C-alpha cells in the first residue's frame, strides 16, 4: 500500500460490458482518503458491478482501477480492504464466530481478540456460536459488517449495509459507519436509501445507467442546484427582469412566489439587480433540496425502484 | 507457497467441521476391513472344509431345490455320516473326484488366503478394495468442497479477503489430496490392527506352499499408486464443478462417469473392433490399469500397460486441471446459486 496516495480509489475509463448491455460506461472516479463516500444510483446503475471490479470479482472489459495506487484486483491490495458486497455470504454449517475466524485466517490480518470485539460491536455476541444458517437477515447483515472490519482495514466497502435491519439497528449501523469514517479510514457506502446516505456521507458519486453523472460533497451538489423563493413588490416585472440575467438558470411563478434556480453564491445579487429597477424584495428564502430530490432530478429515476420519473 | 499453505490450513478448518468428511472416512475404514475379515473367514473356511463345491439344482435328487455347497473334507472323509444324504451316489462320486483334483492346489490356496489377511499382504488387499471406493468418495468430497463456494455464494466473500483465485483453488485441491493420503493411511492403520488381531486368532501359519508373499515395499507401492490414481479423478470432478458452478454436477459426473465409461466400453467394443484402441485412452480404464499393475498383481487382460496408463492419467490431470484453473481465474464471480 502506498501510504502517501492521496486517493484511495481511482478509476480511469472503467468499462464493463455484458454482451450488448453496458453495465459500467467509461467510469473515471477518484475517492479521497478519509470519510464516508456515498456511492449512489438506482438499481441497475452499475454500483455493484463497479464495486465488483474494484474488489477483483468482476473483470473489467476495459479501463483501469486502482486502490491505494496499486492495481485493484491484486490480492495484496485486497488484504488491506474490507468489503460487504450485496447480501453477506458465509458458510452455513459454521457458526458466526467460526466464520469470522476462518475469514480472519485467510486474510492473515488482525488478532484473535478482534473477533470477540467485532461480534460485540455488531451485537452478535450472544448468537456468535449459533450456525450461520440459523441467522435472520439482520443478523447476517451484522455479521457481514463485522467481517468487513476484520484486520482494521483502511478502506471499507459496504453495499446496502442496513438491508434487513430493524429501525434501531439502522440507527446503530449509521452511527457505526460515521464512527468508522472518522480519521484516515475511508468507507464506501453504496445505497439507494438517500436519506440515510445524506446523514452519514461526506462525499457522493451518482451513477446512472453505468455513467458517473455527479460527484462532490453533498453540500456542493445540493447547493449547485439550489432554488430560491422570492416575493417582490412586482412579481410580473421581477420575473421578466430576472429572465434576462445570464447566470440565473430559470425563473417560474408558483403559488404567489417566484422560484429562481441560480448558484447559491450569487443569490445576493438578485436583490441588488431588482432594486436597480425599483423592484424590492419582500422575501428571499433559499430552498434546500434533499439528496433524494437532487438524485431524482439528475438521474431522472426513482432512487428505490430505479423506474423513470413520471 | 506460504499463501497456499495458509489457505490449505484454513481449508482444513472448514472441512473438519463437515460431517461428510468423517462419514466418508468411516466408509473407507469399513471397506478396508472387508479385506482383512473377508480374507480371514475365507482362510478359515478353506481350512475347515478343504474347499467347497457347488451342487447345481439339476444334480440334486429332489427337484426344485436351490443350488447348495458340499465340503471336500466331508466328501473325502470316507465317513458315511458326513456324506450328503440327499445326493445320488453317482453325483457324490463325481464330486469326490473333483475334490481329489483340487486337493493338489489346496495348500497353495490356503497359503494365499493366509497371506491375504496377514501383514503386509493385507494392506495391498485392502487398497485394492478401497481404491475404487475412494474414487467415488473423493468425487463426492471434492465436488462438495469446491461447489459450496458457488452454492452458498462464499466465493465472493473469500476472494475479497485477498486470497487470490488460483492460490485459493490450488490450496483447496492440495488439502483434498493431502486428506486423501491421510485418509488412506488411517484406513491402512486400522487394517494393520485388524490384521494383527486376525493373525493371532488364526494361530500357526499354514505349511509353506511356495506362494509369493507381498512385501512391505509392495504395500508402499500400492499405497502410492492408489493415491496417485485419485489425482486425475479429482481434476475431473473439480473441472465439472467449476464449469457448472454447482457441487451437484460434480457429484453426478464423478459417480456417473465411473460406471458410464465401463458400460460404453462394453457396448462399443462389442460393436466396433477398433473401439478397444480408443478405450485405451479412457480415464477409469487407465486408472484401473495403473493400480492393477502394481506390485505382483497381474495386469488384467486387455488393459493398457502401466507407463501408458501413467501418461494418460497425467494428460487428463493437466488438461482438466488447466481448464478448471482457467475458468476459475477468468470468470466473474456472482452471488449464491443455492446449491450445496
pLDDT digits (tens, 9 = 90+) for A106-159: 999 989 999 999 999 999 999 999 999 999 988 999 999 999 999 999 999 999
Most A CBs within 10 Å: which of B162, B168, B333, B338, as the mutation test of the A interface? B162
**A107 and B167 in contact by Cβ < 8 A?**
no
The answer, for A90 touching chain B at a CB cutoff of 8 Å, is yes
Give yes or no for a contact between A74 and A38, defined as CB atoms under 8 angstroms apart. no
What is the rounded distance in angstroms from the CA atom of residue A302 to the CA atom of residue B113?
A: 81
CB of A17 less than 8 A from some CB of B: no
- Yes or no, beta carbons of B163 and A75 under 8 Å apart: yes
CB contact under 8 A, A57 and B330: no
Which H helix or E strand runs over B183? helix B165-202
Contact A59 B157 (CB under 8 A): no
Cα A36 to Cα A179, A207, A218, B151: the distances in Å are 10, 17, 11, 33
Side-by-side strand order, sheet with A281-287: A250-254, A257-261, A227-232, A281-287
Q: What is the pLDDT of residue B335?
A: 63
Nearest-CA distance B326 → chain A (Å): 14
**A39, A66, A149: which is closest to A103 by C-alpha?**
A149
Whether residue A101 lies within 8 A of chain B, CB to CB, comes out as yes
CB pairs under 8 A between A and B: 83
Asked if B286 contacts B313 with a C-beta cutoff of 8 angstroms, the reply is yes
A 34-53 residues inside an 8 A Cβ radius of B: 52
Query: Chain A partners of B152 at a C-beta cutoff of 8 Å?
Result: 89-92
Q: Comparing C-alpha atoms, which of B338, B328, B278, B25 is closest to residue B159?
A: B328
How far is B46 from B34, CA to CA, in rounded Å? 17
What residue of B is the nearest CA neighbor of A17? B332
Under 8 Å between Cβ of A205 and A212: yes
Give the mutation candidate from A89, A109, A148, A150 for the B interface (greatest B CB count, under 10 A).
Answer: A89
Tell me the pLDDT tens digit for each residue of B109-126: 999 999 999 999 999 999
pLDDT for the residue numbered B300: 41
**Contact across the interface for B14 and A106, Cβ inside 8 Å:** no
CA atoms of B167 and B165, how far apart (whole Å): 5
Residue ranges in chain B whose pLDDT is less than 70: 61-64, 293-301, 335-340
Q: Which residues contact B213 (CB under 8 A, 6 or more apart)?
A: B115, B121
Q: Does B332 contact A58 at a Cβ distance shorter than 8 Å? A: yes
Alpha carbon of B320: minimum distance to chain A alpha carbons (Å): 23
Confidence at residue A308, expressed as pLDDT on a 0 to 100 scale: 62
Q: What is the pLDDT of residue B294?
A: 39
| DSSP bridge partners of A40 | A191, A206
C-alpha cell of A156?
A: 471499507
pLDDT at B336: 57
Burial zone of B269 (CB within 10 Å; 0-12 exposed, 13-18 middle, 19+ buried) = middle
Q: Give the pLDDT of residue A25.
A: 94
Please name the member of A81, A93, A103 whose beta carbon is closest to the beta carbon of B157. A103
Other CB atoms closer than 10 Å to residue A27's CB: what's the count? 23
Cβ-based contacts of B12 with chain A (< 8 Å): none
- The residue written with cell numbers 479423478 in the block is B233
ipTM above 0.95, yes or no: no
The DSSP line for B266-334 is HHHHHH-TTHHHHHTT-HHHHHHHHHHTSTTPPPPTTPPPHHHHHHHHHHHHHHHHHHHHHHHHHSPP-
Per-residue CA distances from A196 to A132, A167, A172, B168 (Å): 27, 12, 12, 37
Q: Within an 8 Å CB–CB cutoff, is residue A163 touching chain B? A: no
Is the CB of A103 less than 8 angstroms away from the CB of B158? yes
**What residues contact B249, with CB distance under 8 A and at least 6 apart?**
B143, B147, B240, B241, B243
In a structure prediction context, what are the per-residue pLDDT tens digits for chain A, which is 310 residues long?
454 568 999 999 999 999 999 999 999 999 999 999 999 888 888 998 999 999 999 999 999 999 999 999 899 999 999 999 888 999 999 999 999 999 999 999 989 999 999 999 999 999 999 999 999 988 999 999 999 999 999 999 999 898 888 888 888 889 999 999 988 899 999 987 787 888 899 899 988 889 998 898 887 777 666 788 999 999 999 999 999 999 898 899 988 899 998 887 888 899 999 999 999 999 999 887 777 777 777 777 665 565 665 5
Say if A106 is an interface residue toward chain B (CB within 8 Å): yes
Mutate to test the interface with B, among A50, A106, A151 (most CBs of B within 10 A): A106
Task: Measure the CA–CA gap between A268 and A258, rounded to whole angstroms.
Answer: 15
Q: Of the candidates A76, A91, A105, which has its C-beta nearest B162's C-beta?
A: A76
Which one of B10, B154, B156 has the shortest CB-CB distance to A57? B156
* pLDDT value, residue B194: 97
**Looking at beta carbons, which residues of chain A come within 8 Å of B17?**
93-94, 98
Minimal C-alpha gap between B17 and chain A (Å) = 8
Task: Give kind and range of the element (H or E) at residue B8.
Answer: helix B2-15
Question: Do A102 and B162 count as a contact with CB atoms less than 8 A apart?
Answer: no
Amino acid at each position: 500500500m502506498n501510504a502517501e496516495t492521496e486517493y484511495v480509489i481511482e478509476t480511469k475509463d472503467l468499462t464493463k460490458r455484458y454482451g450488448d448491455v453496458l453495465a459500467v460506461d467509461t467510469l473515471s472516479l477518484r475517492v479521497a482518503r478519509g470519510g464516508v463516500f456515498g456511492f449512489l444510483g438506482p438499481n441497475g446503475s452499475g454500483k455493484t458491478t463497479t464495486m465488483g471490479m474494484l474488489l477483483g470479482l468482476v473483470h473489467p472489459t476495459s479501463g483501469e482501477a486502482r486502490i491505494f495506487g496499486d492495481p485493484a484486483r491484486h490480492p495484496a491490495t485486497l488484504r488491506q480492504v474490507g468489503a460487504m458486497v450485496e447480501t453477506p455470504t458465509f458458510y452455513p454449517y459454521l457458526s458466526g464466530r467460526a466464520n469470522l475466524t476462518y475469514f480472519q485466517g485467510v486474510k492473515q490480518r488482525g488478532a484473535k481478540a478482534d473477533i470477540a470485539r467485532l461480534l460485540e460491536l455488531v451485537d452478535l455476541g450472544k448468537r456468535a456460536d449459533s450456525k450461520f444458517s440459523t441467522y435472520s437477515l439482520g443478523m447476517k447483515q451484522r455479521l457481514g459488517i463485522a467481517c468487513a472490519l476484520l484486520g482494521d482495514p483502511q478502506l471499507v466497502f459496504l453495499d446496502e449495509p442496513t438491508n434487513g435491519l430493524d429501525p434501531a439497528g439502522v440507527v446503530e449501523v449509521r452511527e457505526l459507519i460515521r464512527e468508522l469514517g472518522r480519521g484516515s479510514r475511508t468507507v464506501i457506502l453504496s445505497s439507494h436509501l438517500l436519506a440515510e446516505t445524506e446523514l452519514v456521507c461526506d462525499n457522493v458519486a451518482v451513477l446512472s445507467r453505468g455513467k458517473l453523472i455527479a460527484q462532490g460533497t453533498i453540500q456542493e451538489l445540493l447547493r449547485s442546484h439550489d432554488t430560491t423563493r422570492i416575493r417582490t413588490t412586482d412579481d410580473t416585472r421581477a420575473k421578466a427582469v430576472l429572465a434576462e440575467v445570464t447566470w440565473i438558470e430559470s425563473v417560474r411563478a408558483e403559488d404567489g412566489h417566484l422560484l429562481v434556480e441560480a448558484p447559491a453564491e450569487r443569490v445576493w445579487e438578485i436583490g441588488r439587480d431588482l432594486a436597480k429597477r425599483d423592484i424590492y424584495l419582500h422575501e428571499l428564502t433559499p430552498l434546500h433540496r434533499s439528496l433524494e430530490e437532487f438524485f431524482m432530478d439528475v438521474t431522472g429515476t426513482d432512487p428505490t425502484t430505479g423506474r423513470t420519473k413520471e | 507457497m506460504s499463501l497456499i499453505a495458509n489457505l490449505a490450513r484454513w481449508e482444513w478448518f472448514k472441512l473438519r467441521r463437515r460431517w461428510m468428511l468423517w462419514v466418508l472416512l468411516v466408509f473407507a475404514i469399513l471397506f478396508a476391513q472387508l479385506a482383512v475379515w473377508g480374507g480371514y473367514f475365507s482362510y478359515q473356511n478353506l481350512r475347515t472344509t478343504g474347499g467347497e463345491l457347488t451342487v447345481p439344482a439339476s444334480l440334486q435328487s429332489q427337484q426344485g431345490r436351490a443350488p447348495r455347497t458340499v465340503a471336500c473334507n466331508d466328501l473325502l472323509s470316507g465317513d458315511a455320516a458326513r456324506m450328503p444324504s440327499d445326493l445320488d451316489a453317482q453325483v457324490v462320486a463325481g464330486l469326490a473326484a473333483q475334490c481329489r483334483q483340487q486337493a493338489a492346489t489346496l495348500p497353495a490356496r490356503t497359503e494365499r488366503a493366509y497371506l491375504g489377511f496377514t501383514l503386509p499382504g493385507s494392506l495391498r488387499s485392502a487398497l485394492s478394495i478401497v481404491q475404487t471406493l475412494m474414487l467415488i468418495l473423493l468425487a463426492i468430497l471434492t465436488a462438495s468442497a469446491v461447489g459450496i463456494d458457488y452454492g452458498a455464494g462464499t466465493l465472493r466473500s473469500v476472494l475479497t479477503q485477498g486470497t487470490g483465485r488460483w492460490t485459493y483453488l490450488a490450496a483447496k485441491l492440495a488439502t483434498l489430496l493431502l486428506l486423501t493420503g491421510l485418509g488412506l493411511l488411517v484406513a491402512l492403520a486400522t487394517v494393520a490392527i485388524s490384521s494383527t488381531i486376525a493373525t493371532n486368532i488364526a494361530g500357526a501359519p499354514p505349511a509353506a506352499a511356495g506362494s509369493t508373499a507381498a512385501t512391505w515395499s509392495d504395500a508402499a507401492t500400492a499405497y502410492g499408486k492408489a493415491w496417485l490414481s485419485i489425482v486425475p479423478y479429482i481434476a475431473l470432478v473439480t473441472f465439472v464443478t467449476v464449469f457448472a458452478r454447482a457441487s451437484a454436477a460434480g457429484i453426478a459426473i464423478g459417480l456417473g462417469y465411473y460406471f458410464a465409461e465401463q458400460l460404453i466400453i462394453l457396448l462399443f467394443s462389442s460393436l466396433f473392433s477398433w473401439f478397444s484402441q480408443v478405450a485405451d485412452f479412457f480415464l477409469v480404464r487407465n486408472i484401473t490399469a495403473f493400480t492393477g499393475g502394481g506390485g505382483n498383481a497381474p495386469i488384467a487382460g486387455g488393459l493398457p500397460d502401466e507407463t501408458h496408463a501413467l501418461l494418460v492419467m497425467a494428460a487428463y490431470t493437466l488438461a482438466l486441471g488447466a481448464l478448471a484453473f482457467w475458468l476459475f481465474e477468468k470468470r466473474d464471480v456472482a452471488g449464491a446459486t443455492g446449491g450445496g
